[in-house]
Amino acid sequence: MTRVRYVEWGTIIGAAILFAYIGIASWFTVSQFEAQAQEADITIEVRARQFAWEFIYPDGTRSAELRVKAGQTVKLELISEDVIHSLYIRDFGLKKDVVPGQVNVLTFTPMKPGEYVIQCAEFCGSGHSNMLAKLIVE
Amino acid sequence: MTTAQTHVERRHTPWYKSLRRILTTTHHTEIGMLYFAFSYIFLIVGGLFALWMRWELATPEGNVVDANFYNSLFTVHGTLMIFFWATPVFFGFANYMVPKMIGAPDLYYPKLNALSFWLLPVAAALLLIGWPNISWTGYAPLTVIQPDIGVDMWILSLHIVGTSSIIGSLNFIVTIWRLRRPGINFSNMPLFVWSIAVTAFIIILAVPVLAFGLTLLLLDRNFGTQFYIPEGGGDPILWQHLFWFFGHPEVYILVLPAMGIISEILPRLVKRPIYGYKAIAYSTVLIGVLGFGVWAHHMFTTGMSIKALAPFMLMTMAVAIPSGIKVINWEATLYGGKIRFNTPTLFTLSFIGTFIVGGITGVFHAGIPVDFHLQDTYFVVGHFHLILFGAISQAAFAATYYYFPHFTKRMYSETLGKVHFISANVGQYLLYIPMLALGLLGMPRRYYEYLPEFQGLHALATFGAILIGVGTIIFLLNLLISWKKGPAASPDPWDAAKNGMPDFMGEAMNEAEAQRHG
Ligand SMILES: [Cu+2]
Ligand SMILES: [Cu+2]
């Protein structure tokens, strides 16, 4: 084999090993997300419409901001009233589309109290960039 | 000898000076030139829209245009750069070069070839007049409820441009199969011809799926069907499957011809035969096939289960491997070659370099949890612009410089070429690296206004965009002025034939044969 062939096969095998690792790690990470949804401490309904977010708590109160407690596993049920939106909490690296006709679920356990931004990440019309909400972790 | 004589006759009244000739020509080199003129005009138009957006984004608050206009700018910019710049510019090269490379007198169906070109201006006009504001991906049900007639015109525009590329692809497939001169076969056919053949098959398999999705959308909008509306039993996600089943292979429709043309000019520029001909040819086919199995990587956040998404993750990573094989073979060709630092070589090198950077930033998205963060942020925008501008467009620039002396019989200015090279490459990293950083920081794409904390990076990106714009103007002025006033070029401008690799293999074989027969 020539030197180039060694480089070529080295790259192919190296990439394959790296990709296999990423694949397995991704599988376990996402499976963990999906399992988390079963044992949530609180379920909050999220209604998305052009161009605002509304959060409905188990006791029926409605709010334009999302208030949760640190250490609590929160399950968001995402409902769209018009077009596709996407709920994006950048500080947690989490995003889930809000699709009309289906209820998507986003689960997370905030640890650090503070104020975070919720942004709409799926283009939804003229007010897309103003479709922001506050996430307050107490 | 006859070809030389017709050339002399043509020199007296160039064909492009007669409107009748422009409208009625069916000759492949002339249609090729029309494709170039068309695509470079739309590169400028799309580039101006991009600069307009960057100007708006220089400050966090919206103050240059209003939100709807901004949304139209990115919709039209995206649609236009893909369908009216990057696709047709390589159709231009294919028109000019494929017959010469396989030794054919013209394409198999010259009149259909003219038709596929003339459909393009119609489609472009519909897009620009329609001025839709739904983003180039046109996600339902936003596109269904948007009352603007511009969306219907966008649909029709894509229908027409799709028809044009299907006709063109059939023409190229038949040409490559039927008009190869004896002695040119699948084990020595130029790699650019390989890439055009594979691209043509991708177009024929992918574009009808887009057309189907668009037709359903047209019906939903105008005839009360509810294919994409859940109330009527439809599903908005259906659009995404249909769109991305086309949309991802579209990436390869753009990048394969770019890779093909680089595989042609790189060995001739460094005076060394291409390393790994078979590996490059077969990896083209492999990319074409695997490219059809990755579409749902655009849909990792739509709520599909990990079990449905995992195969797409694996396929997305797998398709990176044949691309890597190509890169290694280009590098092996460079190794031991005589690198001349002229403009086409510089752009060829920057194509390879940017393709690596752009490709690696793409593989990140394959990891599903990583994509949860990056999806629909500026990271994605930075990634695919590195591929579309940094790699694909720079391959088109490299090839334009390389073949310019063939097209015009004149030489361009090397100095201006290098200025263009520097501004394009410094500009692109100033533009796209901040975009990647913005995405990692959590800046979503398609935002008309943004949080003030992102302003520094946005301003840097705007500066980079202006640099690219200036470089592109210099590039086009260089070509236009050299076309009229440049010094005469030799028929073998890069010593390709002298080094045993004539630029157009079929044509060279035809000429050698004609000489033998006296
Ligand atoms: Cu939204
Ligand atoms: Cu893709």
Residue numbers in B near A33 (CB within 8 A): 369
Q: What percent of chain B has pLDDT above 90?
A: 83
Mean pLDDT of B146-169: 95
**What residue of A is the nearest CA neighbor of B70?**
A126
Q: Which of B135, B376, B448 sits opposite A129 (nearest CB)?
A: B448
Determine the residue of chain B that is closest to A93 in CA distance: B373
Same domain membership, residue A126 and residue A89: yes
Selecting from A33, A96, A127 the residue whose C-beta is nearest the C-beta of B67 gives A127
The ipTM is: 0.93
State the CATH number of the domain containing residue A91: 2.60.40.420
If asked whether residues A50 and A107 sit together in one domain, one would say yes
Mutate to test the interface with A, among B56, B59, B74, B142 (most CBs of A within 10 A): B142
**Statement to judge: residues A19 and A49 lie in one domain:** no
Instruction: Tell me the domains of chain B and their CATH numbers.
Output: 26-517 (1.20.210.10)
- Based on the fold, state whether residues A30 and A50 are members of the same structural domain: no
Ligand 2 centre to CA of B369 (Å) is 16
Q: Which residues of chain A are within 8 Å of residue B450 when distances are taken between CB atoms?
A: 129
Assess whether pLDDT exceeds 90 at residue A31: no
Answer yes or no: do B230 and A96 touch at CB < 8 A.
no
The amino acid occupying position B412 is: Y
Residues lining ion ligand 1 (Cβ < 5 A) are A 85, 120, 124, 131
- Based on the fold, state whether residues A77 and A129 are members of the same structural domain: yes
**Residues A64 and A8 both lie in one domain:** no
Expressed as residue numbers, the domain containing A101 is 42-137
Q: Which residues of B touch A96 (CB under 8 A)?
A: 301, 303, 372
A61, A89: one domain: yes
Q: What is the number of structural domains in chain A?
A: 2
Residue type present at position A114:
G
Q: How far is the CA of A87 from the centre of ligand 1 (A)?
A: 8
Q: If pLDDT is split at 50, 70 and 90, which confidence band does B11 have?
A: low
Interface touch B324/A12, C-beta < 8 Å: yes
Using an 8 Å Cβ cutoff, are B505 and B184 in contact? yes
Residues with a beta carbon under 5 angstroms from ion ligand 2:
B 248
Pair B453, B61: CB distance under 8 Å: no
| Residue type for position A19 | F
What's the pLDDT tens digit per position in A88-109?
999 999 999 999 999 999 999 9
- In A19-38, the residues whose Cβ lies within 8 Å of chain B are 19, 22-23, 25-27, 29-31, 33-34
Q: What is the pLDDT of residues B240-295, one digit of tens each?
A: 999 999 999 999 999 999 999 999 999 999 999 999 899 999 999 999 999 999 99
- The per-residue pLDDT for A15 is 86
Minimal Cα–Cα distance from B63 to chain A, Å? Answer: 14
More confidently predicted of B482 and A3: B482
Per-residue pLDDT band for B1 (boundaries 50, 70, 90) equals very low
Please choose, from the candidates B393, B168, B360, B385, the residue with its C-alpha nearest in 3D space to the C-alpha of residue B262. Answer: B393
Burial grade of A87 (CB within 10 A; 0-12, 13-18, 19 or more): buried
Task: Please report, to the nearest 10 degrees, the dihedral formed by the alpha carbons of residues B118, B123, B128, B129 taken in order.
Answer: 100
Q: Could you give the dihedral angle defined by the CA atoms of residues B191, B195, B200 and B202, in that order, rounded to the nearest 10 degrees? A: 150
Q: What is the pTM of this model?
A: 0.93
A63-82 residues touching B, CB cutoff 8 A: 82
C-alpha dist (Å) from residue B468 to B41, B42, B48, B77, B420: 16, 16, 11, 16, 8
Could you tell me which of B329, B351, B341, B231 has the C-alpha nearest to residue B281?
B329
3-state secondary structure of B168: helix
**Residue A64 shares a structural domain with residue A130:** yes
Q: Inter-chain contact A30–B235, Cβ cutoff 8 Å?
A: no
Q: What sign for the dihedral angle of Cα B140, B145, B151, B155?
A: positive
What region does B321 belong to: left with phi over 0, alpha with psi -120 to 50, or beta?
alpha
Widest Cα–Cα separation across chain A: 71
A30 and A78 share one domain: no
Q: A83 and A114 share a domain?
A: yes
- Answer yes or no: do A79 and A16 share one domain: no
- One domain, residues A50 and A23: no
Segment B485-508, tens digit of pLDDT: 999 999 899 999 999 899 999 999
Q: For an interface test with A, give the residue of B69, B306, B319, B445 to mutate (most A CBs within 10 A).
A: B306
Q: What is the mean pLDDT of chain B?
A: 93
Neighbours of B6 (CB within 10 A): 9
